[in-house]
Amino acid sequence: MKRRAVVTGIGCVTPIGTTPDDFASGLYAGRIGVGRLTVFDASHYPVQIAAEVHDWDLSAVGENPAQWRNCPRQTTFAIGAGLQAAQQAGLADARIESSRFGVYLGCGEPFEDFTAFTQAVHDTQSSERPFLEHALRIFDPDTEREYEPDMPAMHLARMLHAGGPVANCVSACVSSTQAIGEASRMIQFDEADVMLCGGAHSTINPFGVTGFQRLSALSTRNDDPQGAVRPFDADRDGFVIGEGAAVFIVEELEHARLRGAEILGEITGYGSAQDAYRITDTHPEGRGAATAMRRALQNADLVPEQISYINAHGTGTPLNDRVETLAIKQAFGPQAYRIPVSSTKSMLGHATTACGAIELAVCLLSLKSGVIPPTMNYESPDPECDLDYVPKQPREVSCRHLLSNNVAFGGQNAALVVSRYDESSSATVQVRWAA
């Protein structure tokens, strides 16, 4: 019998809340975290808005921020969310065998702060010395390693004494969804008893903003930041870059029960598929996304009628929202019109590799509260986007099984099903406790 993977801890650092409780309050209040860009001077950029994490540092989880000053933003987000999750799960008091405790994150490539480097280029005239001095400071070998995408996972493994499988997934915007799905499989197939999993990212930097803007993927509503992200709306014009992290403690059911942990939900389904089409465009019929959602349902042994809510990828780009709507119809058939669908990117922006983890946190919080979050800024229906997008107001829903869907550049697709914990079925496992 396949072992059961349950969630016992949640941590999150987002533009609308930097703890799970604050995050939930922001979701149900329809709080929009988009504003004018402050991380760097974007006054001369075509895009000048982002969903930033404000007024937060690692002192909130008992760490000295000065010790992490050479790390990119995503590392501090991941550590903050990871330590929150570990605390909620009560890992400090648990005797977990190190070799059975792993970490699997989805963190992307961070970019170093090239501001000083760029200024040095402009300042260099007859002498190359200012350029070289700035270059050497920025590319200090003592800090260069911190900019590898796997470093958040390595830091958390060290801090929490996780000596089992440790990995990082980089699959663009499905990275953290895949990381959670693969971590859950490690639990289900007896490769670990406890996994810390999720993701973190920040592409709010000159390279990230310029790159996505050159792809025509970003909203240019600089004068209306709060109304910029408009998923499924007829007047949508692109996404807004966000940032943040969500991290979970996922463990085998009996392992969690024996140590008295509170069970927040169960990862029951995971599906992944490729469009095998183009690098930046999704398949026009939503082929890969529909397949990933079907596989997640099959993996959870569920039928479309049993899904209470879908948290959509819902970027607010014209192509994504139209194709994702079509993919949901293909995967769910006539039930697609019954199931409420919302995009929390309307509040959070697009946190790239971290978006799937943050959106799974949304689903877990909805399981607990029985309330699903709205799609903000939905005002003008699009005939090609004709599902129930929960416009502007949260809604009470009897939440039993929820699905989170994500798609990515490169054609990758992934979906997760999270369910209310049900004691009716038993698990078979040999639990390994530390001596």
Q: Is residue 133 part of a domain?
A: no
Which of 262 and 283 is assigned the larger pLDDT? 262
Residue 433 has pLDDT above 90, yes or no: no
- Catalytic residue annotation: 173, 313, 350
For 202, the domain range is 5-110+149-419
State the alpha helices, DSSP H only, in 44-167: 73-89, 115-123, 129-138, 141-144, 151-160
Give the per-residue pLDDT at 141: 67
Decide if 229 is inside a domain.
yes
> Using an 8 Å Cβ cutoff, are 176 and 74 in contact?
no
pLDDT at 94: 85
Which element (helix H / strand E) includes 145? Answer: none
State the average pLDDT over residues 211-217: 93
Note whether residue 287 is domain-resident: yes
Q: What pLDDT score does 431 carry?
A: 38
Summarize pLDDT for 324-336 with one digit per residue, the tens: 999 999 999 999 9
Would residue 141 count as lying in a domain? no
Percent of the chain with pLDDT over 90: 83
pLDDT in tens, 47-86: 999 999 999 999 999 999 999 988 999 999 999 999 999 9
Mean pLDDT computed over 229-251 = 98
Average pLDDT, the chain: 91
Residue at 138 is within a domain: no
How many domains does the chain divide into? 1
Position 175, amino acid: S
Is residue 235, in this structure, part of any structural domain at all?
yes
Phi-psi region of 118 (alpha: psi -120 to 50; beta: other; left: phi over 0): alpha
Say what the pLDDT of residue 278 is. 85
Q: Is the pLDDT of residue 339 over 90?
A: yes
The verdict on residue 123 lying in a domain is no
Q: Cα–Cα distance between 52 and 49 in angstroms, integer?
A: 9
pLDDT at 8: 98
pLDDT of residue 110: 86
Per-residue pLDDT band at 426 (split at 50, 70, 90):
very low
The whole-number pLDDT of residue 425 equals: 54
The CATH number that applies at residue 346 is 3.40.47.10
